Amino acid sequence: LSISIETALPIQFLILLPIASMLIAIIFDSRLAFYFTVTNALLTAAIRGNDYSIIIAMILAGTLALFTVRDIKSRTQIYRSITYIFIGFAFAVLIEAVQRSSSFSIIIIELGFGLINAVLSAFLTFGLLLVLERFFGITTDLRLLDLLNLQHPLLRQLETAAPGTYHHSISLGTLAGTAAQAIGANSTLATVGAYYHDIGKIPNPKTFIENQTSTENIHDSLDPKDSASRIIQHVQQGLLLAREHHLPPKVIEFIYSHHGTTLVSYFYQKEKVANPDDQSLASRFVYPGPKPVSKEAGILMLADVIEAATRTLEDPTTEKIQKLIDTLAQRRLSEGQLDDCELTLKELYEVKKSFLASLSGIHHVRIKYPTKEEADAAQRMATRTAKLLSLPSTEDILKERLKKSEPL
């Protein structure tokens, strides 16, 4: 169009290449967006008959545009994008003006067209993103940032129905987000995943120890098989609620994978004592999985079990927290729960270091439980953790079964 429309105006400055640069940077990554910008600037110049001045303009504007959305934190960054795209065009116009000794009026007209491009590119990019997110199921960081809002209906429901789980999820958000940042993974995704991972506890909050405020525990009157099945169900319930509220697939992954294929060992051991000869027992106490497949989901799986366990530590010192982190991470690793999640051993080391720093900071200022109910609840959780830590891991149980040649 910029060639075929006959006009004296510099309409080549209206080529909206910065839109593509920004969209690719947001949906994929900034390196790919940079390659795309350079290639397309060259192609545009070639189509326009070796118009090298457009190469400079498009590379400058496109690169600055993608730079503004590289680390997107809110939709108000649109104004930053407008400014930087305009700066890119302004540079190109001035370089050309110096070279061709252009008149002042031409410079002003070209700058005006550059400004129009900057405004159009920024608004169209942010508008197109909404369409792409909705129709192609793409989860951008902007969508994730919307989900961080604590006023989201699901988080409000979680806070009202299951306050214990809500507080666990929010502190898990910080823990997992910081750890993800430490290894260069997506910390926003890890935090959002943490906020929503246990929403499946909303329908039956009292099944879970963190929401039991009275001394009464509903599991006292339940068969261990029923207890385990009610606990395992929170994964399925979570998936239903997530779909109902249109959570993006990237976030749903955290819901179904945060327990992987681990065993609800407390109730399994209880049932095993009562029913030692049942061959198919283990299969009824296992979460359906699958295991985490992303680094962020792997971090969440570790953070989940560690956060819940550290809350119950009597007088938590750095040494005690470190021992707990090492034991629980090692257990998940040897159970093979982290096999599919791409975390390297070096990253795992960094993640554990980050957990220790965050948890030591949190527990350093922890005050004593103020009421008797809370103290009782804490005591129950402490007993539970102590039992969990002394129990054999899923791997031990499976090995033992293999030795006896019992079906798994």
Q: How far is the CB of 59 from Fe ion (least distance, A)?
A: 47
Residue in 128, 242, 231 with CA at minimum distance from that of residue 192: 242
| Residue with smaller CB distance to Fe ion, 77 or 233 | 233
What character string, x for contact with Fe ion (CB under 5 A) and - otherwise, covers 147-186? ----------------------------------------
**Cα 150 to Cα 312: distance, rounded to the nearest angstrom:** 26
Residue 35's Cα: distance from chain center in Å? 27
| Residue with smaller CB distance to Fe ion, 125 or 385 | 385
Size, binding site for Fe ion by CB under 5 A: 2
**Cα 356 to Cα 331: distance, rounded to the nearest angstrom:** 17
Q: How far is the CB of 231 from Fe ion (least distance, A)?
A: 8
Half-sphere exposure (Cβ direction) of 83: Cα atoms closer than 13 Å: 7
| Residue with smaller CB distance to Fe ion, 85 or 232 | 232
| Residue with smaller CB distance to Fe ion, 198 or 347 | 198
| Residue with smaller CB distance to Fe ion, 198 or 271 | 198
Residues in contact with 263: Cβ distance below 8 Å, sequence separation at least 6, in sequence order: 282, 285, 286, 287, 394, 397
**Cα 347 to Cα 359: distance, rounded to the nearest angstrom:** 18
**Cα 98 to Cα 118: distance, rounded to the nearest angstrom:** 22
| 304 touching Fe ion, by CB under 5 A | yes
Structural contact between residues 220 and 260, judged by C-beta atoms closer than 8 angstroms: no
Q: How far is the CB of 206 from Fe ion (least distance, A)?
A: 15
Half-sphere exposure (Cβ direction) of 323: Cα atoms closer than 13 Å: 8
DSSP-based three-state secondary structure for 200: helix
| 307 touching Fe ion, by CB under 5 A | no
What character string, x for contact with Fe ion (CB under 5 A) and - otherwise, covers 254-293? ----------------------------------------
| Residue with smaller CB distance to Fe ion, 253 or 304 | 304
Residues in contact with 66: Cβ distance below 8 Å, sequence separation at least 6, in sequence order: 18, 21, 22, 24, 25, 30, 33, 34, 37
| 253 touching Fe ion, by CB under 5 A | no
Q: Which of residues 80-99 bind Fe ion (CB under 5 A)?
A: none
Q: Which of residues 189-208 bind Fe ion (CB under 5 A)?
A: 198
| Residue with smaller CB distance to Fe ion, 22 or 325 | 325
Residues in contact with 50: Cβ distance below 8 Å, sequence separation at least 6, in sequence order: none
Q: How far is the CB of 302 from Fe ion (least distance, A)?
A: 11
Q: How far is the CB of 253 from Fe ion (least distance, A)?
A: 14
| Residue with smaller CB distance to Fe ion, 96 or 198 | 198
Burial class (CB in 10 A: 0-12, 13-18, 19+), 98: exposed
Among 41-49, 90-98, 275-283, 302-310, which window interacts with Fe ion (CB under 5 A)?
A: 302-310
What character string, x for contact with Fe ion (CB under 5 A) and - otherwise, covers 333-352? --------------------
> Phi/psi at 4 (nearest 5 deg)?
-75, -30
Query: Which residues are near Fe ion by CB under 5 A?
Result: 198, 304
